[in-house]
Amino acid sequence: MVSFLLSVTFACGLLIAVAHVLNRRFIAPVYDVAANLTAFGGAVAASLLLGHWIPALLSAIAIVCWLVLARRTILARRVEFATNRVPAGRL
∠ CA 41-48-61 to the nearest 5 degrees? Answer: 50
The SS3 call for residue 72 is helix
pLDDT classification of 70: cutoffs 50, 70, 90:
very high
> pTM (2 decimals)?
0.80
For 21, counting Cβ atoms within 10 Å of its Cβ (0-12 exposed, 13-18 middle, 19+ buried), the class is middle
d(CA 61, CA 37) in angstroms, rounded, equals 11
pLDDT digits (tens, 9 = 90+) for 11-57: 888 899 899 889 888 888 889 899 999 999 999 999 999 999 999 99
Q: How confident is the model at residue 88 (pLDDT cuts 50, 70, 90)?
A: low
